[in-house]
Structure 1
Amino acid sequence: MTDRLTTVVTDDNVWPWLRDDTTLAEHGIDARFVPLTDTERLVRHLATADACVSVFFPQELAGRAGHRLRLLQVTAAGTDHIAWQPLPATVTVANSFGHGRSVAEHVLMTVLAGRRQLLWRDAQLRRGHWHTRLVDPHTPAFRNLPGTTVGIVGLGHIGRSIARLCAAVGMRPVGIRRSAAEHRTDDPDFAWVNGPHALPELLCESDVLVLACPLDDSTRHMIGGSELDMLGPDGILVNVGRGALVQEQSLYDALRTRRLGAAALDVWTTPAAPRPTPASPLPFHELTNVIMTPHFSATAEDTYRDRAQEVADNLKRLAAGLPLRNVVRAGAAGGHG
């Protein structure tokens, strides 16, 4: 091969792994890092790039992509930060994963913390109040995990990782998959799987609801007041998908009035910000039955290492003319793998 594959990387989380990967150069791949914030420099490099590795690809980049660009490799599962309309149809878009275990551990951690009221008990003990049945028989009790039904909406890499870890500690996973047309009991990771029409059945049967599906027109605000009432006052909602999957006001009201037992929210309708910014215009921070985290469930160091390996593999495939993996939209660069 005489032509080199020019690659621009804007994701500083995967860049250290790609920078130190000597096999890229051996496969004819030249990778350089350009900060996403340096728009003009980035546009200049994209004019001659064959591939771009990024979490975000806003309109000012998509509309000015060079004619050589063949692959936009997204370093996340979600592609809702991509400006699709101005992006040339010749560009293949692929996503990446590597974060299933990290998210699954986060879900298990927050389910345990929510069920045992860990944050409330911690805050009370810091004030000297011992809320334990060793000294107070009226202190709320909690249940262990075995026998708990966890309903998972979204059965991709993340959903299945969550199901497997939950099953390993004795929980019973059931699931909603967009492509499922009927009730099935032959999935090795779930007691049963069905389509979106079975959401009410899943809610009534579940002790814990985990949202791990993409956000689109069919899933936006899929969980509102009536769905939370089906989950009930002992139920726990864990959202690791997107904030807008849930009607925020309905969720706040259900938590405040204890119509819902607890929630663990890792995603918000407010985007993550580098400066102090409230997660919501609603005072979730005043509630004692909500665990608030800053969209960090997937951010284990292992995640970025594994994503970098997936990205490197796809770049090598592009350089060799092989089918790409994790293709979201096929362009001129490759096919599905």
Structure 2
Amino acid sequence: MNILFAAPENAWGGFLGIVKEQLPNHQFTATGGFHVDSLASVDVLIPTMCPITRDVLADANRLKLIQQCGSGLEGVDIAAAAEKDIFVANVPTGSSGNADSVAELGVYLMIGLHRDVRKMEQSMRSRKMGQPQGRALGGKTVGIVGLGGIGQALIQRLQGFGVRIIGIKRHEPQAAKTALGLDWVGDAGQLPEMLAQSDIVFLCLPVTSESSGLMNRQTLACMKPGAYLINLSRGGLVERDALEWALTSGTIAGAGLDVFWEEPPDPDDPIFDLNVLATPHIGGSTDLSMQGIVAGVVENIRRLEAGQAPLNCAKP
């Protein structure tokens, strides 16, 4: 089968090379960037960060599987794929080790913001010792929006920091509160209440028509003035201009971002001159999650080859 990888060949630590080793009888092509020029004669597409729209699918004459190397399918027109009898599948965060890796990055961003990593670098360059003074975590309230795989992995790692953990879950929040041992869990309509209580807010939910632009001027204004926002999920959850406003106005103290409004983001974007600790969408890029994601992708390609339905398929 012809397998197209919509990214540079060496992206994510050589992910494509590892898949090739396990599927030596297939032909692989990397587009060299996050784009797809043509799907003619392609059997399997690994879209990565490339939007797969109805127009992109127009010349897909052999495509049978769109297999994401991760969990995010918000860029794929699943309905258009279904019309052409194309499976759309992902690798869930919980089964791949991805959730654990993303949660660990979340802890890094949380500590980095509280200890002011950006000013640490300035102090080292100017030979200033003992600066900057950081902020301790003990006694702080951490709010987690989305209590799925990443949210739960984050809860496990936060329990040793002496923080109060609260959350938002769209369905059955009280059941989640009991099951996860949290102090408080509200539903989606109670987001402003959670934001008002939280010193650190983590976004751990997928982008949908309901959650797109979740953090806008109105919701950011609900946050505590000294609070931090950390986005571990998808850039579309946060309105870029609203975030810049919140940072420049002092509405919030800073932000930790592993995902962005466009990817890759413009490195000269003035928002990065503000108190933003940014990482290049590497939350799931670890040795642990790489093994799990490769296994999930390889398994589905083998299933397709054997005439079986892939696992973890999305429905329109």
TM-score category, normalised to shorter length = 0.7 to 0.9
Q: Does 1:70 align with 2:71?
A: no
Shift of the 229–58 alpha-carbon distance from structure 1 to 2, 3 Å rule, reads closer
> 2:267 pairs with 273, 278, 284, which one?
278
Shift of the 185–158 alpha-carbon distance from structure 1 to 2, 3 Å rule, reads closer
TM-score scaled to structure 2, two decimals? 0.81
Distance in 2 (alpha carbons) for counterparts of 1:53 and 1:118 = 35
How far 1:265 sits from its partner (Å)?
A: 1.8
Shift of the 265–219 alpha-carbon distance from structure 1 to 2, 3 Å rule, reads same
Task: Show the counterpart of 1:308.
Answer: 294
Tell me, yes or no, if the aligned pair for 1:154 and 1:211 is still in contact at 8 Å: yes
Shift of the 230–292 alpha-carbon distance from structure 1 to 2, 3 Å rule, reads same
Q: Does 1:239 align with 2:228?
A: no
Q: Which moved more, 1:263-272 or 1:299-308?
A: 299-308
Task: Show the counterpart of 2:216.
Answer: 224
Task: Show the counterpart of 2:119.
Answer: 120
Could you tell me which amino acid in structure 2 is paired with residue 36 of structure 1? Answer: T
Distance in 1 (alpha carbons) for counterparts of 2:309 and 2:173 = 30
How far 1:208 sits from its partner (Å)?
A: 0.8
Matched pairs, number: 301
Could you tell me which amino acid in structure 2 is paired with residue 310 of structure 1? Answer: G
Q: Does 1:106 align with 2:105?
A: yes
Distance in 2 (alpha carbons) for counterparts of 1:218 and 1:279 = 30
Matched ranges for 1:82-101 at <5 A: 82-84=76-78, 86-89=80-83, 90-96=85-91, 97=93, 98=96, 99-101=98-100
TM-score scaled to structure 1, two decimals? 0.77
Could you tell me which amino acid in structure 2 is paired with residue 158 of structure 1? Answer: I
Distance in 1 (alpha carbons) for counterparts of 2:240 and 2:295 = 36
Tell me, yes or no, if the aligned pair for 1:94 and 1:328 is still in contact at 8 Å: yes
Shift of the 193–312 alpha-carbon distance from structure 1 to 2, 3 Å rule, reads farther
Distance in 1 (alpha carbons) for counterparts of 2:36 and 2:208 = 28
Task: Show the counterpart of 2:203.
Answer: 211
Structure 2: gaps of 5 or more residues: none
Shift of the 104–39 alpha-carbon distance from structure 1 to 2, 3 Å rule, reads closer
Task: Show the counterpart of 1:334.
Answer: none
Matched ranges for 1:174-185 at <5 A: 174-180=166-172, 184-185=176-177
Shift of the 53–293 alpha-carbon distance from structure 1 to 2, 3 Å rule, reads closer
Distance in 2 (alpha carbons) for counterparts of 1:228 and 1:52 = 37
**CA distances 1:29-88 after superposition (whole Å, capped 9, x unpaired):** x43211235967x63432xx3x43332363454222235x43221112111332445424
Matched ranges for 1:284-299 at <5 A: 284-287=271-274, 289-299=275-285
Tell me, yes or no, if the aligned pair for 2:165 and 2:182 is still in contact at 8 Å: yes
CA RMSD of aligned residues (A): 2.9
How far 1:141 sits from its partner (Å)?
A: 5.0
Matched ranges for 1:22-33 at <5 A: 30-33=25-28
Shift of the 204–227 alpha-carbon distance from structure 1 to 2, 3 Å rule, reads same
User: Which entry has the higher C-alpha Rg, 1 or 2?
Assistant: 1
Q: Does 1:201 align with 2:201?
A: no
